């Protein structure tokens, strides 16, 4: 079983590396230039030992020291060192640019992918984990790529050129070095093959930790209100300890690579020195020649040492890349239809609709209903009965499992999502305010409208009363914490009214507004809904008495439908809901 797991891990690692290299390959000019300069730098650095070896032979040769030759060789060595240093600087600059452009492209792909992912994916993955993939994992991938480019390109060229020059100098010593090299590979490969899965577990735990931090910080008031500080701290401590253990294990095992390969390489170096000494005694090699071969043996082994020294970063980077590509390659939304929805009257038909979040737990089954243009449909029922799910289906945040939803006879799956949602105005119980000006928040999606239109809509929703008291009116910079819940909801209502869409969805749109303002808003809504098809989700039944049709839902099924008076007279589930709200009151 472990062997299968190792093969699976290695296959995943290889596939991830191939994807990363594919992303790097999109910047071919920089890649080719980096390879060329890396090769030039390696060749220049490897020519210097040859000159030094010849210098040694010129110093210890028979007779007087050849100062002219020594001076000439040292001057040439100095020029080569200067050129190699310039090439090294250029390679570092290019590799930085190549790395950060590659990471920029990958992060942009991730963001674009998030925009196309279905809500089912976002519902099943915490926002903290997704943020960790796009921000933290990409940063770690960047560090690993930078080290990889810096060490890998120059290292490969160094190995190839070193072997070539060593063969020209002494093929016996070269064969000895090559024969012992696989030992170093086997040691490094064995450790690397086992650390990738450890780093993958580490990044997964880090994603859970990020999600928990985001949840606690974003809901700090709730945590304090319910006295959960110590409990949350204890839960975080457990997760933090788990991350510590995973990180320590991954780093420890990956850190074994460097000392292990260095030990093997030291044995190779000693073997070269011993064989070279015997070659000198037999007259087949000079002292300068042995110096060159010893230096090349060290140069040949150096890339392995450098790569093994950054194996931790490389393994971590690949583990992060695997999580990142899991996001990028996630199944996107079902392709939208090519047609555009135009000149909408507002006739909405649901025909035999089936839907469930979990195939094993059916929710909505066989739901059929038709909303006439300009009608108001109220949807009521206990929590979890499918009211909000129905709204999500109307807006095509989710697609139906069976049946169809049509707008003016056109199946919503045959038209673009943008054209469908452009004809809906939507106000939810959960408000959404972003950092920016008041105008930016109200005119979101309608930025081209003049200020006069925005002010008129704000007056209709009684939102202008608090906006005009702000320091800069519409152009006041605000954050979500600057407004009360009621003010935020008023701004969301204004945002919907500004667009004057042919269809409206109101999901507890006045839940955070005081009674007096709610009465005023109802008047504004009445004017707004006039001639428009409206779907209103309500818990307070007193707010939907005038609806053209009330759908009473329970467990995903429509138990009753009709007008308020008809449903009360029928004495069914709607009557139970109504009596539970107004028991003991005079309202009946």
- Residue 244 dihedral angles phi and psi, to the nearest 5°: -60, -45
CA distances from 293 to 164, 167, 297 (A): 12, 10, 6
CA dihedral for 202, 203, 207, 209, sign (positive or negative): positive
The Cα–Cα gap between 170 and 340 comes to 75
The Cα–Cα gap between 359 and 364 comes to 11
Angle between helices 287-309 and 171-218 (to 10 degrees): 20
Q: Print pLDDT tens along the chain (588 aa).
A: 444 445 666 677 778 878 877 777 777 888 788 878 877 887 787 777 777 777 776 676 555 666 777 788 788 888 888 888 888 888 888 888 888 888 888 888 888 888 888 877 887 787 778 888 888 788 878 777 776 766 766 677 777 777 777 777 777 777 877 777 777 767 766 766 667 677 778 878 887 888 888 778 777 777 877 778 888 888 888 988 888 888 888 878 777 766 777 777 777 778 778 877 877 777 777 766 677 777 777 776 677 666 665 666 677 788 788 888 888 888 877 777 788 888 888 899 999 888 888 778 888 888 888 989 888 898 888 877 778 888 888 988 888 889 999 998 889 888 888 888 888 888 877 778 887 888 988 888 777 888 889 898 888 888 888 898 988 888 998 887 788 877 888 888 888 888 788 898 888 766 666 777 677 667 767 766 778 888 988 777 777 888 889 988 887 788 888 898 888 888 888 888 888 876 544 444
Q: What pLDDT, on a 0 to 100 scale, did the predictor assign at position 405?
A: 92
SS3 556: coil
Q: What pLDDT, on a 0 to 100 scale, did the predictor assign at position 426?
A: 83
> Which CATH superfamily, name and number, covers 107-328?
ABC transporter type 1, transmembrane domain (1.20.1560.10)
The Cα–Cα gap between 374 and 201 comes to 55
Q: Which residues contact 175 (CB under 8 A, 6 or more apart)?
A: none
**8 A C-beta contact, residue 319 and residue 144:** no
Q: Which pair of tokens denotes residue 206?
A: 């880090």
SS3 404: strand
Q: What pLDDT, on a 0 to 100 scale, did the predictor assign at position 529?
A: 75
First-residue to last-residue Cα distance in the chain: 69
DSSP of 465-510, one letter per residue?
A: HHHTTSTTGGG-EE-GGGS-HHHHHHHHHHHHHHH--SEEEEESTT
> Which CATH superfamily, name and number, covers 335-423+501-588?
P-loop containing nucleotide triphosphate hydrolases (3.40.50.300)
Q: What pLDDT, on a 0 to 100 scale, did the predictor assign at position 585?
A: 47
The Cα–Cα gap between 545 and 547 comes to 6
Q: Which of 259, 250, 261 is nearest to 194 (CA)?
A: 250
Q: Which pair of tokens denotes residue 184?
A: 């170093």
The Cα–Cα gap between 47 and 41 comes to 10
Q: What is the number of other CB atoms lying within 10 angstroms of the CB of residue 572?
A: 14
Q: Which of 345, 349, 439 is nearest to 393 (CA)?
A: 349
- Residue 427 dihedral angles phi and psi, to the nearest 5°: -130, 120
Strand partners, 9: none
pTM as predicted: 0.63
DSSP of 64-92, one letter per residue?
A: S--HHHHHHHHHHHHHHHHHHHHHHHHHH
Q: Which residues contact 207 (CB under 8 A, 6 or more apart)?
A: 126, 128, 129, 132, 133, 137, 323
Domain segments of the chain as ranges: 107-328, 335-423+501-588, 434-495
The Cα–Cα gap between 551 and 380 comes to 6
For 475-490, b/e burial (b = at least 16 CB within 10 A) is eeebeeeebeebbbbb
- Residue 297 dihedral angles phi and psi, to the nearest 5°: -60, -40
Q: Which of 381, 372, 413, 375 is nearest to 394 (CA)?
A: 413
């Amino acid at each position: 079983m472990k062997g299968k797991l190792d093969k699976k891990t290695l296959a995943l690692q290889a596939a991830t590396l191939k994807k990363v290299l594919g992303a790097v390959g999109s910047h071919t000019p920089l890649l080719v230039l980096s390879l060329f300069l890396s090769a030039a730098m390696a060749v220049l650095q490897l020519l210097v030992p040859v000159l030094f070896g010849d210098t040694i032979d010129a110093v210890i040769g028979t007779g007087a020291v050849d100062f002219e030759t020594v001076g000439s060789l040292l001057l040439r060595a100095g020029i080569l060192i200067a050129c190699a240093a310039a090439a090294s600087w250029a390679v570092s600059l290019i590799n930085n640019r190549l790395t950060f452009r590659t990471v920029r492209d990958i992060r942009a792909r991730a963001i674009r992918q998030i925009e196309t992912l279905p809500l089912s994916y976002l519902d099943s993955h915490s926002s903290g984990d997704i943020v960790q993939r796009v921000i933290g994992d990409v940063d770690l991938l960047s560090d690993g790529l930078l080290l990889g480019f810096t060490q890998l390109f120059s290292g490969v060229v160094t190995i190839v050129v070193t072997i070539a020059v060593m063969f020209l100098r002494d093929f016996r010593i070269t064969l000895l070095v090559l024969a012992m090299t696989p030992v170093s590979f086997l040691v490094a490969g064995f450790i690397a093959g086992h650390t990738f899965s450890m780093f993958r577990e580490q990044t997964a735990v880090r994603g859970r930790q990020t999600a928990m931090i985001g949840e606690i910080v974003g809901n700090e008031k709730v945590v304090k209100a319910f006295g959960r500080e110590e409990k949350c701290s204890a839960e975080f401590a457990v997760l933090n300890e788990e991350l510590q253990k995973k990180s320590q294990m991954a780093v420890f095992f990956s850190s074994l690579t460097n000392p292990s390969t260095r030990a093997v390489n030291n044995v190779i170096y000693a073997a070269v020195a011993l064989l070279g000494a015997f070659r000198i005694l037999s007259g087949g090699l000079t002292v300068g020649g042995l110096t060159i071969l010893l230096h090349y043996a060290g140069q040949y082994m150096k890339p392995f040492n450098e790569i093994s020294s950054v194996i931790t970063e490389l393994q971590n980077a690949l583990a992060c890349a695997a999580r990142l590509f899991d996001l990028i390659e996630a199944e996107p939304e079902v392709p939208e239809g090519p047609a555009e929805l135009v000149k909408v009257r507002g006739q909405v038909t649901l025909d035999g609709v089936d839907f469930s979040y979990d195939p094993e737990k059916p929710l909505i089954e066989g739901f059929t209903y038709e909303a006439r243009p300009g009608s108001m449909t109220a949807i009521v029922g206990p929590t979890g009965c499918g009211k909000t799910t129905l709204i999500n289906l109307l807006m095509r945040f989710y697609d139906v499992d069976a049946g169809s939803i049509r707008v003016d006879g056109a199946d919503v799956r045959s038209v673009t999502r943008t054209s469908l949602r452009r004809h809906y105005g939507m106000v939810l119980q959960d408000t959404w305010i972003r950092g920016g000006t008041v105008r930016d928040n109200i005119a979101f999606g309608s930025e081209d409208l003049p200020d006069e239109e925005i002010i008129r809509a704000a007056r209709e929703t009684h939102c202008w009363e608090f906006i005009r008291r702000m320091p800069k009116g519409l152009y006041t910079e605000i954050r979500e914490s600057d407004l009360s819940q009621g003010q935020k909801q008023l701004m969301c209502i204004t945002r919907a009214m500004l667009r004057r869409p042919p269809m409206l969805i109101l999901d507890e749109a006045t839940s955070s507004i005081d009674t007096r303002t709610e009465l005023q808003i109802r008047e504004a809504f009445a004017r707004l809904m006039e001639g428009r098809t409206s779907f209103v989700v309500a818990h307070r039944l007193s707010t939907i008495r005038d609806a053209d049709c009330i759908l009473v839902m329970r467990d995903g099924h429509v138990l009753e439908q009709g007008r308020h008076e008809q449903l009360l007279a029928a004495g069914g589930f709607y009557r139970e809901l109504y009596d539970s709200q107004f028991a003991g009151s005079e309202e009946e």
